[in-house]
Structure 1
Amino acid sequence: MTGSKTFYLTTPIYYVNDVPHIGHAYTTLACDVLARFMRLDGYDVKFLTGTDEHGQKVEKSAMNAGIAPQEFTDRVSKNFRDLVSLMNFSNDDFIRTTEPRHIASVQELWRRLESAGEIYLGSYAGWYSVRDEAFYGEDELTTSPSGKKIAPTGAECEWVEEPSYFFRLSAWQDRLLEFYEQNPDFIAPAGKRNEVMAFVKSGLKDLSVSRTTFKWGIPVPGNPDHIMYVWLDALANYITAVGFPDESGEYAKYWPANLHMVGKDILRFHAVYWPAFLMAAKLAPPKRVFAHGWWTIEGQKMSKSLGNVIAPETLVNTYGLDQTRYFLLREVPFGNDGDFSHKQMVQRINGNLANDYGNLVQRSLSMIGKNCGAAVPQPGAFTEADDALLGAARNLLPIVRAEIRSQSFHKALDAIWAVIGDGNRYVDEQAPWALKKTDPARMATVLYVLAETIRHLAILTQPIMPEASAKILDQLAQGPEARGFDRLGAGGALVAGTPLPTPQGVFPRYVDEAKS
């Protein structure tokens, strides 16, 4: 789809030193839902994800595995590509920082920063965490019982002394604060914005942006003894993917990005360093950075040592794909930390999906199949109750749009489920099974209203549960051309007499094998 309405959103690029877990799936899922929503809403969307493949940590891991870094990254990057198909993500591009297009982009960004006088050569002496790929001030560290320096993240730090290029971050303190004031929605949620502003107000030091003690990275233009700091390299992926340094074409079309979705642990890099790099290079900063929370598992922090890291594949195989997608975005207010528990997942599947949504669809379409000749019924005049339900369904789009656009996915789902609840109460109150004997014409109207309500619900749940929603729309004989948001409302209403297929259940109940 082409047009003036464009929307560019990105996940962080995932570090190849890791295997995909629930946290990676969560971030990309949020972006996928937003991308699907915006496409259905008539936008030309570019949705980017990918892998971050350079740095000392990767070099060490490759060495430990006894293989070359490129072979190591090829192997591990594939795990994140596999996550895309597993979770039914709809990204338009998958970037790897080892690609030639990215190397050219980052080196040009460096040249622009250097020619603007924003980078200078000095020497670095300080504390560095290999795990975090981050530098820390003495005041940020604690000392472990064994005498090791520990970063706020819990990572060990080592003292590093080497020649280094520096970015003049200290010169950007006032300009960043001014930028945040002028763009109050740049950092979300609000609590995270306050954290970033407090950090910047406390004073910024110039940032070391090159290393000489390892080789796995992008060489500094004109001085290949230096490798670019992995975060300068990684952040630039967002402009690489739209064709930078070519500022025509996709760059002109999509940049600045509408949204960078990140975990809260990497907010500083995206909300402080990245806009400073871009503005220093005379490039526009992104419009918004949203930092979401972390997941615990059954009340405990995810950790390899506890053995409680859940692979997305396990969730999908155990509970179902759309069930997993739904749970992750409904269970927790987006932006807060969340806890995954088997009990809560089963309650959501059996309560919200099977009992509420699935039951509304199944009983409504089954009654149409049995009592209306397996075709969309012919409605008569609408009553106040009919108009109330249809009105609620037809008024959902602006409510859901506002919540999705502000990344309040749980509130969007709450609004949709409120109408599902209205639909179930309407069935009980209207009792179409009784009307079959006393007033068949009224029964047909009631069933039409239900089918039309379900059509709206299925169109609006497509971004969250694409497969389940497609099955429901198939059962309403709504083809691919009838599934965009432009078909919501009376203009796209079901046509009486349209033949309908035999209804099939969409949300099976979850039965705990251990208890059955």
Structure 2
Amino acid sequence: MTSGRSFYITTPIYYPSDVPHIGHGYTTVAVDALARWHRQAGDDTWMLTGTDEHGQKMMRAAAANGVTPQEWVDKLVTEAWFPLLNTLDVANDDFIRTTQERHEDGVKKFVQAIYDRGYIYAGEFEALYCVGCEEFKTEADIMDGTGPFEGLKVCAIHSKPLELLQEKNYFFKLSEFQDRLLELYRERPDFVQPESARNEVAAFVQQGLKDLSISRSAFDWGIPVPWDESHVIYVWVDALLNYATAVGFGSDEETFERRWPAHHVVGKDILRFHAVIWPAMLMAAGLEVPRGVFAHGWLLVGGEKMSKSKATGIAPETLVETFGSDAFRFYFLSAIAFGQDGSFSWEDLSARYQAELANGFGNLASRTVAMTARYFDGAVPTPGEYTDVDRAIQRTVADAAAAADAAIDRFRIDEAIRAVWTIVDELNGYITDNEPWALAKDDAQRERLATVLYTCNEGLRALAVLLSPVMPQATAKLWDALGAEPALGALEAQPLREAGAWGLLPAGAATSALSPLFPRIEQAD
């Protein structure tokens, strides 16, 4: 059931030159949680992820490994990138690879269209190029080398020497879009989020834009320029177009019309490509610009941005094997303010797992289901008259659901989880204050006991729905244990924006034994 409101969201298209690290995992689960939320809220949702497989860096890596570029990318994607999605429980709707025919055909049509509209011209080009970034560097991104690279110009990101490239290339008239881009940022202040990212992009564009070299002739691993096959399309132009080709640009206009424009979630290091070059290309083609570009921060390990070259990359599997995929998703989506840099440490993950998941949410679920079994033979009891303390819980649930939905609309998954967690904290306090184990000893308090345990079970019903986009496995186990499915249907079919309504779990629902949602982790260190 969809509301007709389109919500198309993308991860960056990943460069599979090496295996994924937790930074890739972080972006992917963030986009997945946003997509799951909107899908379950009834929006016409589509989540895209994929791999960017062309360019000089890929060609060199393949040569170093003695295989063709296509064989090399096939191996990387099959062995490392597809498994990542399973490891992290990602429910993407599509996975695009830039070596697929659907993509190559769409790219050629798009580039031909902006050429025909007069936005591309031939010219000579000389600049310093970083193969690692697949990018020509501006003065601000170039540093003087030290140590073995003394006397050379190096990339500010990779600290590796830059190459001077001289080529006859085709250029995109990016400079013509300066005013239109500034007008876009003014008219739609939420086009680039968060605000710090928008300010940075606007300041960059205000300094003036240079035309962009969009082809290469020194190597051939790429999509040929349609009117001059001695050139291939610059890998970044090719890569950005995946967001359009994946939903039918150039091949299925009906699907493209239905899905486009997209929300893009990207790391802040690739913000300019998405917030400057990409909307300018779309304007040149006469297409709508994206709905918005959200730039999240870096994941820091030991104070440094993760990177393979500096051995700070951590494979997501190493965390999932110990803590499970739900805990990975919960930790990265709640512990870091989405949009800002965040630090990862094993100790912090371990502490939050214990405090918030095992002792907080997991213990609440176990206690409630166990007391329902003990005192009411496993049937959710019929509540009696509600008191002020019960109504306070009902208000907490309603407020949390509304606040979480509003936070998701702002792409603040961390704030959404914080809002939902007020239900966990309030219910744990409610059990402590109302002492169902004491009420159970007094027959005269039977109705009060029923009200307290109904309140706990119904609170868990709301938690299962609200947390399912973040922790799909634990919430599915809880839904099952609450006996909710026979009466209410599958968990993923619950309308998320109605989760805060009270009284949906029917009295009499048959609960069943619940093994710990977040088992204790035995670890020596």
Whole-Å Cα distance in 2 between the matches of residues 245 and 492 of structure 1? 49
Q: Could you say what secondary structure the match of 1:493 adopts?
A: coil
Q: Could you say what secondary structure the match of 2:352 adopts?
A: helix
Whole-Å Cα distance in 1 between the matches of residues 104 and 261 of structure 2? 20
The residue aligned with 1:137 is 138
The residue aligned with 1:470 is 476
The residue aligned with 1:14 is 14
Preserved contact between residue 319 and residue 328 of structure 2 (Cα < 8 Å): yes
Preserved contact between residue 48 and residue 93 of structure 2 (Cα < 8 Å): yes
Question: What TM-score, normalized to structure 2?
Answer: 0.95
Whole-Å Cα distance in 1 between the matches of residues 31 and 166 of structure 2? 40
Of 500, 510, 513, the residue aligned with 1:499 is 510
Q: What's the CA shift for 1:305?
A: 5.3
Listed one character per residue, the Cα deviations across residues 44-66 of structure 1 (whole Å, up to 9, x for unaligned) are: 21100000000011111111111
Q: What's the CA shift for 1:486?
A: 5.8
Whole-Å Cα distance in 1 between the matches of residues 226 and 503 of structure 2? 57
The residue aligned with 2:519 is 508
In structure 2, give the amino acid aligned to 1:496: A
Listed one character per residue, the Cα deviations across residues 244-295 of structure 1 (whole Å, up to 9, x for unaligned) are: 11462210101011x1010111001000000000000101110110111111
In structure 2, give the amino acid aligned to 1:47: M
Q: What's the CA shift for 1:302?
A: 2.7
In structure 1, give the amino acid aligned to 2:66: G
| Alignment of structure 1 residues 18-167 onto 2, 5 Å | 18-78=18-78, 79-138=80-139, 140-145=141-146, 146-153=150-157, 154-167=159-172
Q: What's the CA shift for 1:491?
A: 6.7
Of 484, 488, 511, the residue aligned with 2:499 is 488
Q: Could you say what secondary structure the match of 1:46 adopts?
A: strand
| Alignment of structure 1 residues 233-312 onto 2, 5 Å | 233-246=238-251, 248-257=253-262, 259-304=263-308, 306-312=310-316
The residue aligned with 1:413 is 417
Preserved contact between residue 298 and residue 340 of structure 2 (Cα < 8 Å): yes
Q: Alpha carbon RMSD of aligned pairs, Å? A: 1.5
Listed one character per residue, the Cα deviations across residues 276-329 of structure 1 (whole Å, up to 9, x for unaligned) are: 000001011101101111112244443445533210111100211111111111
| Alignment of structure 1 residues 345-384 onto 2, 5 Å | 345-384=349-388
Q: Could you say what secondary structure the match of 2:49 adopts?
A: strand
Tell me the number of residue pairs that the alignment of Structure 1 and Structure 2 aligns.
513
The residue aligned with 2:397 is 393
The residue aligned with 1:313 is 317
In structure 2, give the amino acid aligned to 1:485: L
Preserved contact between residue 402 and residue 500 of structure 2 (Cα < 8 Å): no
Between stretches 155-164 and 292-301, larger displacement belongs to: 292-301
Preserved contact between residue 349 and residue 509 of structure 1 (Cα < 8 Å): no
The answer for unaligned runs of 5 or more in structure 2 is none
- Pair 1:475–1:142, CA change in 2 (3 A): same
Whole-Å Cα distance in 1 between the matches of residues 439 and 406 of structure 2? 39
Whole-Å Cα distance in 2 between the matches of residues 417 and 155 of structure 1? 45
In structure 1, give the amino acid aligned to 2:242: N
Between stretches 294-303 and 321-330, larger displacement belongs to: 294-303
In structure 2, give the amino acid aligned to 1:416: V
Q: Could you say what secondary structure the match of 2:441 adopts?
A: helix
Whole-Å Cα distance in 2 between the matches of residues 72 and 130 of structure 1? 17
Q: Could you say what secondary structure the match of 2:82 adopts?
A: helix
Preserved contact between residue 22 and residue 311 of structure 1 (Cα < 8 Å): yes
Q: Could you say what secondary structure the match of 2:162 adopts?
A: strand
Q: What's the CA shift for 1:508?
A: 1.5
Between stretches 393-402 and 267-276, larger displacement belongs to: 393-402
Q: Could you say what secondary structure the match of 1:437 adopts?
A: coil
| Alignment of structure 1 residues 418-433 onto 2, 5 Å | 418-433=422-437
The residue aligned with 1:326 is 330
In structure 1, give the amino acid aligned to 2:229: P
Listed one character per residue, the Cα deviations across residues 416-474 of structure 1 (whole Å, up to 9, x for unaligned) are: 11121111111111111111122122111100011101110111000000000011111
In structure 2, give the amino acid aligned to 1:453: G
Question: What TM-score, normalized to structure 1?
Answer: 0.97
Whole-Å Cα distance in 2 between the matches of residues 359 and 274 of structure 1? 48
